[in-house]
Each structure stands twice: as C-alpha cells, then as structure tokens.
Chain A
C-alpha cells in the first residue's frame, strides 16, 4: 500500500499522517469496515477512531458482552502458549494488556516454583512486549500495570506499532499472540507475514478471535444476540452504538476458521490447528514457525 511505503518503516503508529498522495488514489482498493466498503487508507483511520472511543470502557464492555467468558478464553490462550522463564513474547493489538498480564503471572509463578531447576543458560530476563496501534489503548494498559504495581517492571514493555509493519527484529520472539485484534487489521496476510518474520525458529503463533458458528439453532441465537443486543449495550454502557455495530459486523466479515487456517499456513507456518470455543463463537488458531 502506498501509504505504508511512504511513512517511515519504524514509527507507524500515528494515523494523523494519513495524507493522500496522487499514487494512493490511483491504486486504492476497497476493503471492508464491518458491512460497509471503505477505501483501504480509511479503514485504519476508522478503526483507530473506534478504539479511541472505546478504550476507556473496553474492559467493562468485554465483560458485559461475553458475560465474563473472555477471561476464560484468554486463560486458555495463555495456557496453550505455555510461557517459560526467559521468553521474549510479543502481544500484538494487546492494548489494555489482558493477555500480557496473564503471561507475566504465569511466568513468574512458574519461575518461583522451578527456581531450583533453572538451567544456568536460561537466566535471561523475560520480556513481554505489548504492541498496539492505538496510544489510548496503551495508556489504559499502562494504567492497569500501575495499579498492579508493575509500572517499573522491566519485563513489560509497551510499544506503539502497526501489526502490518512491526518494529521488531527478525527471529527475535519466542511467542506471538494476537487476541481479538486480527480482524481489525487491513491486510491480514501482511500481519501474518510480519508474525512469521519476527518469530524465532520453533516460535509459536497464537490467535484468539471471534469466529464463525455453524451449529444450526445456536447460530441463529448468536446472530440475534450480536445484532440486537450488543449495539444496544454499547450505547448504554459505552455511549457508542456505532463502534459496537462495527464490531459485530467485522466478526461476520472475518474469514471462517478453515480459511484463516489456510492463510496462516500460506504465511509459512507449520502445524496449523484451531480450537473452537463455545461452538465457534471464539476460535484459537495456533501454529509453529520452523
């Protein structure tokens, strides 16, 4: 995309830079923003607006919409990851830090238990990078870290960045997670390619995302809940119906489990698997880079 090429490769967070160049209007493609079709350059701006608006009530809305289940899903994600002491982990689109905090807790408690068995070679420090394109979300995350007393902890690093153009080195990460973020990315293939690039050999890619339900009656109930209840909840609690309308629409536009798994395989990953939770409402895709 012309926009991406023109901006600097390292610092790409700010969408304020979205000016139109003559090239951009010639090659502009349409992409989906929920059920609307919008120009690619606009999508990231629109997404940014959505998350700026919802940042402060993001966590509460998650709890309400999923009846607290999102916590279990994230626990499952971190469980699958099996964090270990000394790992370098990247959590993309992890603004408010849910997954990052869980990984941090897992590593530190395991470390305490296994201290007597720690190999001399692995006394490196754990580094958990939280990358998000939206600075407001990162601020909420930093605030939560401060509440837990982790603001000075060197293990958690908050980085502003774009999933399609990460500022990390090749082969530098042991783990990569993206929870409820990949459907907001304009070019999913690019995000997957970036994930492949930054992972070390043997590193794992894990994606937690709302996905497609196929079970007959349950599907209708889920659709009803999504389109009737959630935007109303959004209006009531976050004061923003449109953002949540975007959310439920973007879930429908995201590729189904099998197709997404194929996309992950095409990016070069091995052993691509997925696990449906709650009948397909949420799916965890996992893969390894070899």
Chain B
C-alpha cells in the first residue's frame, strides 16, 4: 500500500514506506507547488523516525544517490510536470478540471502549453495529482502532531475524514466534475487505488491492528462512509462551513462502529448457542471464518 503511494508521489526511484513518514517542514494551509520533490531528495535520511516499522535508512541513501546520477533527466521532466499541475490547480476553481486550466497553469510556470498534450488522460492527471497531494498533506498533518490521544476510535476516524474533506473546500464548486472524471472507466483503476490508500492510511493512523477478514470489512465500510460524506458535502449549504456535513459524518461513523460491535456480538451469540446445540454450529462458523481469513490473508499483498 505504502509502496504504491510512495512510488506515485515521489517518482519511480523511491519504493519504501519510510519516505512518507519523514518529518519535513511544510506549510499545511496551501497545496504545495514544486518543492516536495526536491525537498525529499535533499532531506537527511539519517535521522531515525519514530515509527518502529521502518527498514534500513542506508538503503534509502544509496537508492537516492543512484537515482540522482542515472535519472536526472527523467526526474527533471517529472518535476516539471508536477510544477505545471500544481500551478494548474490554482486555476481550477475558475476553469474547472479541464485542459484550459492546465494550459493556464503551464503558461504560469513559463512552459509551452504543448506539454499538456504529453500528460496521459489529461484532466485525470490533474485530479489524480490533487488526490495524491491531499493524501500527502493528511499524512503530514498526522505526523506533525495531531492530537488523537483523547479521542475514542470513532471520533478519531471522524476527525481524520473531516480534515481530508476540508482540503476539498476551495474546489467544491467544481468537485462534481472531478468525481465524474474519476468515474470514467479509464480512470477508475487509479482513482480506486487512491481511495483505497487514503482509507488504509486513515485506519492505520487510528491504530488498526487487524490482519484478518476485519481488514477488508473496515476499509470497505470506511470507503463507503467517506464517499457518502463527500457526496453529501456537494449539496450542503449549511451556514457554519458545512456543519451539516460533519454531523452527517459523525452519525455514519457511529453507525459503522455499531455495526462492527453487532457483528462481534453476533459471533459470541453464535458461540453460546453452539455450546448448547452442539459443537457442530460453532465448528461450522469457525471453519468458515478460518477459510475466509486465510484467503483474506493470502490476498492481502495489496
């Protein structure tokens, strides 16, 4: 999961998850233009980060050096692309997620608008860039000390989803267009992957330790909650900055957690009955759960 995120965000050279967690000083109020690529190449890889699940930092240094030497031209091109896309985002509220916005963006950067022709699936490239940027911003917010300790899990989830959705507020007038672009069959694989990464990231931050069937259930449910809230937000004109949307979000998250509790309760209930009726039912349920979780475990190389 993290590998694909890192690869998408930072180019083909980087393949490890720790790069998403490097503490770097970044303003969180605006969408970052070009600096994130260069800063990730220069930032010292030596400092150990807090997260214990990280692999060897020396490998990253070597990878970084190798990348610098052999891939300078390609890195430059991707940086240029990122620069153009970042500049284009500023024109989106006025021009929509369209080629015109990208042309305006490229003019701003000082590059011929012909470069827009070289983006595959042009408008989709812009939307996908935005989604990646938002994910990165969310990760940075979390890393730079978001206070989640005093909250119960359902409130943590609510808070994270809210932070993420608030990033879309400046583009809200054109967001339906972005959603329709993401829904095109050509673009669905990428947009699905991006949303899956987002949902995975949120659960990871909340402190999810499940590795069986629960993993899929949790992510699917949160994906549904996120999409529902996103769409609700499109038509919400409540006075105090989407107050109704946040209320809706809180309710849906609570429902989701209750659902989880009720599935758990159903399992215990079945076990109790099994003790009475005989081991056969429980054996059946266990057998089913086991097969499903091993199948889930095998296919979790996502």
Contacts and interface: CB of A to CB of B under 8 A. Distances in A.
A141 interface: no
B100 A200 contact: no
Nearest to B96: A117
B99 A204 contact: no
Contact of B106 (A175, A202, A286, A290): A202
Contacts of B96: 117
A114 B117 contact: no
Given A117-B98, A119-B100, A290 B113 contact: no
A288 B106 CA distance: 14
Given A204-B114, A271-B77, A84 B107 contact: no
B100 A174 contact: no
4 closest pairs, A vs B, by CB? A82-B117, A202-B111, A202-B112, A202-B115
Given A121-B104, A201-B111, A202-B112, 19 more contacts: A81-B117, A82-B99, A84-B113, A87-B113, A114-B100, A117-B96, A119-B95, A174-B114, A199-B112, A200-B114, A202-B106, A202-B115, A204-B112, A204-B114, A270-B77, A271-B77, A271-B118, A288-B77, A288-B114
A87 B77 contact: no
A84 B104 CA distance: 11
B11 to A, nearest CB: 13
Interface of B: 73-74, 76-77, 80, 95-96, 98-100, 103-104, 106-107, 110-118, 122
Nearest to B117: A82
A200 B112 CA distance: 6
9 contacts: A84-B99, A117-B96, A119-B104, A119-B107, A122-B104, A175-B114, A204-B115, A270-B76, A290-B77
Given A82-B122, A270-B73, A270-B76, A202 B98 contact: no
Interface in A231-273: 270-271
Given A119-B104, A270-B76, A270-B77, A288 B115 contact: yes
A201 B112 contact: yes
A84 B110 contact: no
Contacts of A203: 112, 114-115
A39 interface: no
Contacts of B73: 270
Nearest to B106: A202
A286 B103 contact: no
Nearest to A86: B113
A4 interface: no
Contacts of B106: 202
Contacts of A202: 80, 106, 111-115
Main secondary structure of the interface of B (DSSP, over half): helix
A80 interface: yes
A174 B117 CA distance: 11
B80 to A, nearest CB: 6
A264 to B, nearest CB: 13
Contacts of B104: 119, 121-122
B71 to A, nearest CB: 12
A174 B113 contact: yes
B147 to A, nearest CB: 43
B95 A117 contact: yes
Given A82-B116, A122-B107, A204-B117, A290 B80 contact: yes
B117 A80 contact: yes
B258 to A, nearest CB: 47
Nearest to B118: A288
A87 B100 contact: no
A114 B102 CA distance: 14
Given A117-B100, A270-B76, A270-B77, A174 B112 contact: yes
Contacts of B111: 200-202
A117 B101 CA distance: 9
B108 to A, nearest CB: 10
A81 B113 CA distance: 11
Given A117-B95, A202-B111, A271-B77, A122 B103 contact: yes
Contacts of A288: 77, 114-115, 118
A104 B106 CA distance: 22
Contacts of B118: 204, 271, 286, 288
A175 B112 CA distance: 9
Nearest to B81: A271
Nearest to A268: B73
Interface in A108-137: 114, 117-119, 121-122
A200 B115 CA distance: 10
Contacts of B77: 270-271, 288, 290
Contacts of B114: 81-82, 84, 87, 174-175, 200, 202-204, 288
A201 B117 contact: no
Contacts of A121: 104, 107
B214 to A, nearest CB: 44
Contacts of A80: 117
Contacts of B110: 201
A175 B76 CA distance: 20
A290 B117 contact: no
Contacts of A114: 100
Q: Which of B98, B114, B118 has the most CB of A within 10 A?
A: B114
A261 B104 CA distance: 30
Contacts of B103: 84, 119, 122
Q: Which of B76, B98, B113 has the most CB of A within 10 A?
A: B113
